């Protein structure tokens, strides 16, 4: 970064359409989350967040992971007035030229917005600033389809100059929508499902079932790395990972029920364990990475059978998405490269898992192996817990 930015103007979207009291709560949370992500002063002014960071590069990097922010612009501050804006603009133009963003052939536009009383209109200031650029560089003005837009945002006696509008992640500020228990495996899907619920403002307690001896140590390491990556999107709000030893339950499924039902019973037990965790943690829903028809346990009959007897909502934000869409999202959020690290898979998966287990058969098998008691025992033994913030 060459330009000597001193402030970032951040815009927030959905927060702004809420009623006054919800809006105040959301704005407060957003400010808190920003201040937790990096050292800065941040304040609300006229529906924008003005951020004065200690380290500009770090701030620009972290803001792309703060939910609630729609876009943000690093800016240079000038005193409002023709002379001072002209001076600041000339310096700004010099930097744009040295970065190759503005030449004598670059169609450009000045966009000017104004709050406060001034002795000029926005249009007059835009025309003035445009003439400075033309005089300095000779670039053509093109208001309809410019390659470069230079913004002047005039707020009372301060003017902010910027040209970059960097997209933020959108969504709602972390921590505004209560808590969920997210079933987190080392695979591609559940990190994306968890991310999507975080994007809607949820605080996450991630629950992982350690299936050793049917899985290796690599699976645990992957989940920790995935949790750390997801926690980058949770500034200001705790992100917890709880790992339970689940292998003995899988062993009971293999011994006490038809082999082809192992995966369905595995999932059945997971939801029940997640419900206990939710109660303990004060979470109101369970999240998983199911996508309809993707694997044997995700057919409609098996979705029905595995969720029997669970009394809180099980949210599956990926249910209607294709694998390629999910993978693309995983790449964008940074979990894909971790998820594809080979971990040997789960050796308890049968050669021919059932794709349509009748609910009665699942209930019968679950009673025979006493799932509720098995799972309660695992819960009582407790979890390995890591807090990321
Ligand atoms: N070991 C585990 N610990 C916690 N949750 C799990 C575990 N294994 C599976 N899940 C949950 O169950 C969902 C479905 O898992 P399943 O193995 O049927 O499908 P998958 O497509 O391999 O999912 P993923 O890519 O998320 O691993 C996962 O998305 C996740 O939410």
Q: Which of 114, 136, 167 is the last residue of a domain?
A: 167
Residues 118 and 197 in one domain: no
* The pLDDT of residue 16: 62
* The pLDDT of residue 3: 75
In a domain, 2, yes or no: no
123 is in an annotated binding site: no
Element (H, E) at 136: helix 122-137
Q: How many domains does the structure of the chain reveal?
A: 2
CA atoms within 13 A on the CB side of 221: 9
- In whole angstroms, give the CA distance from residue 276 to residue 268: 13
Residues 47 and 126 in one domain: yes
In a domain, 173, yes or no: no
CATH number of the CATH domain containing 336: 3.40.50.620
198-216 pLDDT per residue, tens: 999 999 999 999 999 999 9
Residues 141 and 52 in one domain: yes
In a domain, 148, yes or no: yes
In a domain, 174, yes or no: no
Q: Three-state SS string across 262-329, please?
A: HHHHHHHHHHHHHHHHHHHHCCCEEECCCCCCCCHHHCHHHHHHHCCCCCCCEECCCCCCCHHHHHHH
Its pTM stands at: 0.94
**Residue 189 in contact with ligand 1 by CB distance below 6 A:** yes
Provide the residue range defining the domain that includes 146: 7-167
Say which residues have a Cβ less than 8 Å from residue 298's Cβ, sequence separation at least 6: 290, 291, 292
CA of 237 to the centre of ligand 1 (A): 24
Q: Which of 121, 144, 167 is the last residue of a domain?
A: 167
Q: Are 263 and 298 in contact (CB under 8 A)?
A: no
Residue whose C-alpha is closest to residue 182's, from 153, 207, 212: 207
**Residue 288 in contact with ligand 1 by CB distance below 6 A:** yes
**Residue 33 in contact with ligand 1 by CB distance below 6 A:** no
* Ligand 1 atom nearest to 215, measured from its CA: 1
Residues 248 and 337 in one domain: yes
In a domain, 172, yes or no: no
DSSP of 14-42? GGGGS-HHHHHHHHHHHHHHHHHHSSEEE
Q: Which of 103, 133, 167 is the last residue of a domain?
A: 167
In a domain, 190, yes or no: yes
* The pLDDT of residue 47: 85
Residues 217 and 155 in one domain: no
* The pLDDT of residue 2: 61
Residue whose C-alpha is closest to residue 353's, from 309, 311, 298, 300: 298
Residues 159 and 228 in one domain: no
CA atoms within 13 A on the CB side of 202: 24
* The pLDDT of residue 182: 98
**Residue 339 in contact with ligand 1 by CB distance below 6 A:** no
Residues 232 and 89 in one domain: no
Residues 215 and 236 in one domain: yes
183 is in an annotated binding site: yes
CATH number of the CATH domain containing 148: 3.30.2130.30
Q: What is the ipTM of this complex?
A: 0.98
- For the chain, residues with pLDDT lower than 50 are 1
* The pLDDT of residue 15: 67
* The pLDDT of residue 103: 97
**Residue 266 in contact with ligand 1 by CB distance below 6 A:** no
Residues 371 and 285 in one domain: yes
* The pLDDT of residue 258: 93
């Amino acid at each position: 970064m060459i330009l000597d930015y001193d402030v970032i103007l951040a815009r927030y979207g959905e927060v702004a359409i809420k009623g006054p009291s919800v809006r105040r709560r959301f704005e407060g949370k957003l400010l808190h989350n920003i201040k937790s992500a990096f050292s800065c002063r941040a304040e609300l002014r006229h529906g924008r967040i003005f951020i004065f960071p200690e380290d500009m590069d770090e701030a620009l990097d972290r803001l792309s992971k703060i939910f609630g922010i729609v876009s943000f612009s690093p800016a240079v501050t000038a005193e409002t007035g023709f002379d001072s804006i002209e001076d600041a603009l000339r310096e700004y133009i010099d930097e744009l030229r040295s970065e190759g963003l503005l030449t004598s052939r670059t169609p450009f536009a000045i966009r000017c917005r104004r709050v406060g009383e001034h002795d000029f209109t926005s249009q007059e200031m835009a025309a003035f600033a445009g003439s400075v650029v033309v005089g300095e560089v000779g670039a053509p003005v093109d208001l309809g389809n410019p390659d470069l837009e230079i913004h002047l945002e005039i707020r009372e006696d301060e003017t902010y100059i910027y040209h970059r509008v960097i997209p933020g992640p959108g969504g709602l500020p972390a921590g505004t929508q209560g808590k969920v228990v997210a079933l987190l495996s080392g695979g591609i899907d559940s990190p994306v499902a968890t991310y999507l619920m975080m994007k809607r403002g949820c605080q996450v307690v991630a629950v992982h079932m350690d299936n050793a001896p049917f899985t290796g140590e690599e699976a645990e390491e992957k989940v920790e790395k995935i949790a750390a990556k997801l926690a980058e999107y949770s500034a200001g709000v705790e992100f917890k990972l709880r790992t339970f030893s689940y292998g003995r339950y899988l062993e009971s499924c293999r011994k006490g029920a038809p082999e082809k039902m192992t995966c369905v019973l595995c999932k059945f037990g997971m939801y029940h364990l997640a419900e206990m965790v939710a109660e303990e943690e004060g979470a109101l829903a369970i999240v998983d990475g199911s996508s309809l028809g993707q694997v044997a346990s995700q057919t409609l009959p098996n979705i029905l059978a595995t969720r029997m007897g669970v009394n809180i909502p099980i949210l599956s934000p990926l249910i209607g998405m294709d694998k390629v869409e999910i993978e693309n999202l995983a790449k964008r959020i940074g979990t894909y490269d971790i998820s594809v690290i080979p971990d040997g898979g789960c050796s308890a998966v049968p050669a021919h898992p059932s794709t349509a287990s009748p609910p009665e058969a699942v209930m019968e098998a679950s009673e025979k192996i006493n799932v509720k008691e098995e799972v309660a025992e695992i819960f009582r033994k407790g979890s390995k817990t890591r807090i990321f913030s």
